[in-house]
């Protein structure tokens, strides 16, 4: 049997992580994998998470199974975090999943179950794992224009033109905030136009929100998701807790299915639980429990929000510093988009030859499509990066 297995394409981001580790240069800079790092290059455990873990260790009396949906309190608190009061709680079915990736995978499974004919529209570019999972599951997908390489912003006209091709029952995958890999995002009136278009065509939005709190703040980052979920009859939401709670390896995420039609909720909830059972039975609990504790306790929540806000503002400052250095060195504003982008990533918008030159000549590691993890920088490495960008002729 095993002789039939074929080599599968490697994850380029993870391969880059290894290449960085193997590089002996001391002044190398890692702008690859999307993990938050502080100015010392560390990925800290957030204070509130550490406190919740201590409390959990003292208070937890059993490790018996939870339920197929995970602890319902986790789902409730995640729905409140992501959706606020945009949608009545009774209209949101939700399950805990292993990370945001687990939620994405379960959402695709649900789409295939509900409508095997559905095509999934994804932004060009999108997070590579969206494509990899869709291919693996044999779900037909197609791309819509998204990034404007000239302005570094969103090609909104192109996006709307392509989305006008969606048919009833198709699914449109959107990044709720902090687009990965570009950093370019829609404004709220553009989101409204997308919601109107999808409603007109009868297509279903699926929102992947993996960076809530990393862009403009917890509520602002959720505004688009809330608008879509309030205006569209049905919405799928895959939320990740990896970044904003800093609990990457705990594998914590939540899949939500919003339905406005009366009487839809129970079947949606049962279906999500069924899908969990088919794939892994009970979802992991440890990270989900930490999240529900932090969200449900005033002191922990306040501290978490304060730390998350420091992380967000720190990244904004790095963006501004980098855009400023490049303005000075290039004598132009052509890198100004770096300060407009939001979240952990920015796409520089240069070819693979420049990306390679940055790596070979300067020990600067970014993903092949010129995506940089802004959190990999600090006040000292920014001038070096800016000089290198100009040096290789970007």
For the question of residue 54 being annotated catalytic, the response is no
User: By rule CB under 6 A, what count of residues binds ligand PLP?
Assistant: 14
Phi/psi for 125 (5° steps) reads -95, 175
Tracing tokens 């982008």 back to the chain, one arrives at 341
Sites for ligand TYF among residues 135-194 (CB under 6 A): 180
> Cα separation of 276 and 24, whole Å?
43
Q: Out of 10, 11, 15, 233, which residue is the one contacting ligand TYF (CB under 6 A)?
A: 11
Report the nearest approach of ligand TYF to the CB of residue 181 (Å): 7
Span from 8-16, 85-93, 139-147, 198-206 in contact with ligand TYF (CB under 6 A): 8-16
| From the list ligand TYF, ligand PLP, none, partner contacted by residue 240 (C-beta under 5 to 8 A by kind) | ligand PLP
Compute how many other C-beta atoms are within 10 angstroms of the C-beta atom of residue 60.
11
Nearer to ligand PLP, 218 or 394 (CB): 218
Confirm whether 51 is a catalytic residue: no
Q: Among 127, 141, 144, 337, which residue interacts with ligand TYF (rule: CB under 6 A)? A: 127
- What six digits make up the tokens of 318? 């790095």
Residue 14 binds which entry of ligand TYF, ligand PLP, none, CB below 5-8 Å type-dependent: ligand TYF
For ligand PLP, the closer of residues 236 and 389 by Cβ is 236
DSSP 346: E
Rg (CA), the chain: 21
212 is a contact residue toward ligand TYF (CB under 6 A) = no
Residues 6+ apart with CB under 8 A from 98: 251, 252, 253, 280, 283, 284
Decide whether 321 or 373 has the Cβ nearer to ligand PLP: 373
Active site residue 210: yes
Q: What is the C-alpha separation between 228 and 192, in angstroms, rounded?
A: 8
Q: Find which of ligand TYF, ligand PLP, none residue 161 binds, CB within 5 to 8 Å per kind.
A: none
Taking alpha carbons only, the member of 269, 387, 363, 373 closest to residue 22 is: 363
Which of 37, 51, 91, 243 is an active site residue?
Answer: 243
Kindly provide the residue ranges of all beta strands, DSSP E only, lying in the chain, ordered along the sequence. Answer: 29-30, 92-97, 120-124, 141-145, 171-175, 204-209, 234-240, 253-259, 345-347, 364-365, 371-373
Mask: binding to ligand PLP, 149-178, rule CB under 6 A, as x and -? --------------------------x---
Q: Which of 66, 180, 370, 381 binds ligand PLP (CB under 6 A)?
A: 180
- Answer yes or no: 266 catalytic: no
Q: b/e per residue, 142-178, with b = 16+ CB within 10 A? A: eebbbbbeeebbbbbeebeebbeebeeebbbbbbbbb
Residues in contact with ligand TYF by the rule CB under 6 A: 11, 13-14, 33-34, 127, 129, 180
């Amino acid at each position: 049997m095993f002789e039939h297995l074929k080599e599968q394409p490697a994850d380029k981001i993870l391969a880059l992580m290894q290449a960085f580790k193997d590089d002996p240069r001391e002044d190398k800079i890692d702008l690859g994998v999307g993990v938050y790092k502080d100015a010392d290059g560390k990925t800290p455990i957030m204070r509130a998470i550490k406190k919740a873990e201590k409390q959990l260790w003292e208070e937890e009396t059993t490790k018996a199974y939870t339920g197929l949906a995970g602890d319902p309190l986790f789902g409730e608190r995640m729905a409140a975090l992501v959706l606020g009061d945009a949608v009545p709680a009774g209209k949101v079915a939700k399950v805990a999943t292993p990370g945001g990736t687990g939620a994405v995978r379960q959402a695709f499974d649900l789409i295939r179950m509900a409508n095997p004919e559905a095509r999934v529209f994804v932004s060009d570019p999108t997070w590579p794992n969206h494509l990899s999972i869709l291919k693996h599951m044999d779900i037909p997908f197609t791309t819509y224009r998204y990034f404007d390489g000239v302005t570094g912003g969103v090609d909104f006209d192109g996006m709307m033109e392509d989305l006008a091709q969606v048919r009833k029952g198709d699914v449109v995958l959107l990044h709720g905030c902090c687009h990965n890999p570009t950093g370019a995002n829609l404004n709220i009136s553009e989101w409204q136009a997308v919601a109107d278009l999808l409603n007109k065509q009868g297509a279903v939005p699926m929102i992947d929100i993996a960076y809530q709190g990393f862009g403009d703040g917890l509520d602002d980052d959720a505004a688009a998701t809330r608008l879509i979920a309030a205006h569209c009859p049905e919405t799928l939401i895959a939320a990740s807790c990896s970044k904003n709670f800093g609990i990457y390896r705990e594998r914590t995420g939540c899949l939500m299915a919003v339905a406005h039609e009366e009487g839809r909720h129970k079947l949606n909830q049962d279906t999500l639980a069924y899908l969990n059972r088919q794939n892994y039975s009970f979802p992991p609990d440890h990270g989900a429990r930490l999240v529900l504790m932090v969200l449900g306790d005033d002191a922990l929540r306040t501290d978490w929000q304060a730390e998350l806000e420091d992380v967000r503002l720190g990244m904004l400052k790095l963006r501004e510093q980098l855009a400023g250095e490049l303005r000075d060195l290039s004598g132009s504003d052509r890198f100004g988009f770096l300060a407009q982008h939001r979240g952990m990533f920015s796409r520089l918008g240069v070819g693979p030859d420049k990306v390679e030159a940055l790596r070979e000549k300067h020990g600067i590691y970014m993903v092949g499509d010129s995506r940089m993890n802004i959190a990999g920088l600090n006040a000292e490495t920014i001038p070096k990066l800016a000089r290198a960008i100009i040096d290789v002729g970007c």
